[in-house]
Structure 1
Amino acid sequence: MRLRISLRSVAKSLSTTTHHSNGVVSSSPVQDLTSFLQDAFPGTVVLTGAGVSTDSSIPDYRGKHGTYTLNPDYKPVFYQAFVSSDEARHRYWARSFLGFPLAMRAEPNPTHYAISALQSSPSSPSSPATCAPLPEAVSGSVPGSGSVISDTKPFVKTLITQNVDGLHQKAGSKDVIELHGTLHKVKCLSCGHEEDRTQFQHTLAALNPEWNALVENQSSASLYSRMNADGDVELKSPEQQDQDRKSHAPVSAASLDYRTFQYPPCACCGTGVYKPNVVFFGENIPPETKERAAEAIMGSNGLLVCGTSLATYSAFRLVKQARDVGVPVAIVNIGPCRGDSLATLRCDSSSSELMAAVVDRLGMGPVEGQIKRNPRRLNVVGS
């Protein structure tokens, strides 16, 4: 399903929504978030989560249609299991093989393009948004702040994302810190050799022709319905698969036994195991990534949080750090958020609609991108 945004109607609907921040009620989120960016100019850092990519048909974990919401029995592959268990690796790569093509076909939505526009100079021709002349409040002094906004500096310099899908970069964002890594690379756990994930997909396809044939014949809608935020697809447990075989159920990608899925050793050292270059559950964030994110917060004048419940401590810690050093925090998220009590501005809104309206209000829109949502089923348990 594709939706086109009418900025006029979005701004009108958002302006009547009530938003809470530390007990303070705001009835004008577009205006208030615009003012937040102007007051923090030019030093806002943006922190995004899975909720930003749901409008690109990549699901989240904890939202209304998230994996944990629809399937409370969902079991992710933990880091220790991946590195120590051959079966866990068979399971992971089978799921990843099915989901990776879907993740690669995903396109940036208005939130991705809005953030990219904010990372470009307001008058820069390279901005993905179609630029209009700057309003007086943007090109001159910020009302009530005493600061002057230049049209040669961007509103946002650094983007920190928990997402691994690469959609921010696809929309044109620069200076991106990928807190939890990227799906686009695999890395050998023994020698550190890296390989492009797309090339690795071709290797997996050659090793698993039966799986590849089913993927090519199965509809994208069927696979999308079982897709997770990290680009893998849920599979039935071996017990469920045995039951399917006994009942002569039709063969599908969901019912193949992941224990039969083959994965290659490292092409460089010949013995090492490839792992996706993402931070697994139970795995530590690389120290250099953690340090870069902390430095970005320390050098900021404002932190804008979009599309995350901040359930992971790696993200929540950055919000707490910002408040500890007096950096104001704006949170845009549908539903409760772990950092609500730390927010100076809280908007319970769709980031696509709100961010598009804010960029338009700043004279830098309209932004590109469409909202695309696919239904999810996730009736597969124990995978």
Structure 2
Amino acid sequence: MTLSTALPRPAAGSLEDVVDLLRGRRLAVLTGAGISTDSGIPDYRGPDSPPRTPMTFQQFVGDEAFRRHYWARNHVGWRHMHRTEPNAGHRALAELEARGVVNGVITQNVDLLHEEAGSRTVIDLHGRYDRVVCLRCGTVRPRAEVAERLEALNPGFVESVGAVADIEIAPDADAVIESTADFRIASCWAPDPDGGAGECGGMLKPDIVYFGENVPKERVERAFALVDDAQALLVAGSSLTVMSGRRFVVHASRTGKPVVIVNQGPTRGDALATLTLDAGTTPTLTALARRL
């Protein structure tokens, strides 16, 4: 089933309905790219989003040209992610957690804006943009360290493609640029895991779950536990297109917990929702912070 053939939204309600349903309940929250659009990070699937084809895990590990293109774009785009700030919707969820209304956030985003807003229990389902992992030795490094290595390998590259503010940024810290053929990618410089005298030389990958890659089992189990510990599930800013997020809606519905979906446009979870609200996340979450 695609979004265009999704079931109607028979549970569509108003903000008043949402408040009435959620008041007095402890909430688990699932967020998607839609909550970060007001922070300047575009949504992959929002009503006004241009078409995008994200790189798959298989493309990244199996084709050097794809990998080079990704790292070149990411080398530009991650700077934009680093300077984005939480919006009022992120801060509203942090406030609700501080008051005990929200028991935690499961986010499909990699932008860390929930943590920056003050949320303390956050499960970064799809990883974090600020870390890089070696697929050979498993070493995890801050993205800033890899940026220094990439800058040394590609002096002046960022300047050659223009100011970051003039380049389209995608939700995974990617950036749309055209010429990446001459970009040099970095390999892991940790000690050789086989005991040799040289460097590991393994393939570096952003610590982000790509399309075609599984979310780590331990992370999924923690997210299910968060939902189980709550009395209702609130979805904010996700079209629930991919199963990695939609599974929590399915689980909550099957276990009899109310599910409220706040999103601009239809979602793949609407048929399972107790209520849906076609609205922006920032005004809705700030209103809930005042009234719950």
Normalised TM-score (structure 2): 0.90
- Residue of structure 2 in register with 1:229 after alignment: 171
In 2, the alpha carbon distance for the partners of 1:25 and 1:235 equals 40
Q: Is the partner of 1:285 in helix, strand or coil?
A: coil
In the alignment, structure 1 residue 58 sits paired with structure 2 residue 64: no
- Residue of structure 2 in register with 1:103 after alignment: 81
Flag the 1:205–1:89 CA change in 2: closer, same or farther, 3 A: same
Percent identical across equivalent pairs? 40
- Residue of structure 1 in register with 2:57 after alignment: 79
- Residue of structure 1 in register with 2:71 after alignment: 93
1:206 positional shift:
1.4
In 2, the alpha carbon distance for the partners of 1:88 and 1:26 equals 44
Which of structure 1's runs of 4+ aligned residues deviate more than 6 A?
Answer: none
One-letter code of the match for 2:172? D
In 1, the alpha carbon distance for the partners of 2:283 and 2:203 equals 42
- Selected match of 2:276 from 321, 346, 370: 346
1:219 positional shift:
3.2
- Residue of structure 2 in register with 1:26 after alignment: 13
1:294 positional shift:
1.4
Q: Is the 8 A contact 2:103 2:226 kept in 1?
A: no
Flag the 1:76–1:22 CA change in 2: closer, same or farther, 3 A: closer
Q: Is the partner of 1:159 in helix, strand or coil?
A: strand
- Residue of structure 2 in register with 1:211 after alignment: 157
- Selected match of 1:259 from 170, 174, 181: 181
One-letter code of the match for 2:276? R
Normalised TM-score (structure 1): 0.70
In the alignment, structure 1 residue 120 sits paired with structure 2 residue 98: yes
Q: Is the partner of 2:24 in helix, strand or coil?
A: helix
- Residue of structure 1 in register with 2:195 after alignment: none
- Residue of structure 2 in register with 1:35 after alignment: 20
In 1, the alpha carbon distance for the partners of 2:158 and 2:54 equals 23
User: How many matched pairs?
Assistant: 277
1:267 positional shift:
1.7
In 1, the alpha carbon distance for the partners of 2:176 and 2:109 equals 19
In 1, the alpha carbon distance for the partners of 2:46 and 2:244 equals 19
1:35 positional shift:
2.7
One-letter code of the match for 1:168? H
In the alignment, structure 1 residue 291 sits paired with structure 2 residue 278: no
- Selected match of 1:335 from 242, 255, 265: 265
In 2, the alpha carbon distance for the partners of 1:90 and 1:163 equals 23
In 2, the alpha carbon distance for the partners of 1:220 and 1:114 equals 29
Note the alpha carbon deviations across 1:46-86, whole angstroms, 9 max, x for none: 000000000011001111232xxx23xx4322101211221
In 2, the alpha carbon distance for the partners of 1:23 and 1:90 equals 46
In 1, the alpha carbon distance for the partners of 2:249 and 2:229 equals 14
1:23 positional shift:
2.8
Flag the 1:209–1:300 CA change in 2: closer, same or farther, 3 A: same
Q: Is the 8 A contact 2:80 2:165 kept in 1?
A: no
- Residue of structure 2 in register with 1:4 after alignment: none
Q: Is the 8 A contact 2:259 2:272 kept in 1?
A: yes
- Residue of structure 2 in register with 1:48 after alignment: 31
One-letter code of the match for 2:19? T
1:93 positional shift:
0.3
Segments of 5+ residues of structure 2 without an aligned counterpart are 1-7, 193-198
Q: Is the 8 A contact 1:59 1:65 kept in 2?
A: no
Q: Is the 8 A contact 1:302 1:329 kept in 2?
A: yes
Structure of higher CA gyration radius: 1
CA RMSD of aligned residues (A): 1.6
Q: Is the 8 A contact 1:22 1:342 kept in 2?
A: no
Segments of 5+ residues of structure 1 without an aligned counterpart are 1-20, 122-153, 237-255, 363-383
1:25 positional shift:
5.3
One-letter code of the match for 2:141? E
In 1, the alpha carbon distance for the partners of 2:65 and 2:13 equals 51
Flag the 1:46–1:25 CA change in 2: closer, same or farther, 3 A: closer
1:175 positional shift:
1.1
Note the alpha carbon deviations across 1:186-222, whole angstroms, 9 max, x for none: 000000001001221122111111313325xx23431
In 1, the alpha carbon distance for the partners of 2:44 and 2:275 equals 24
One-letter code of the match for 2:279? S
In 2, the alpha carbon distance for the partners of 1:221 and 1:86 equals 28
- Residue of structure 2 in register with 1:277 after alignment: 207
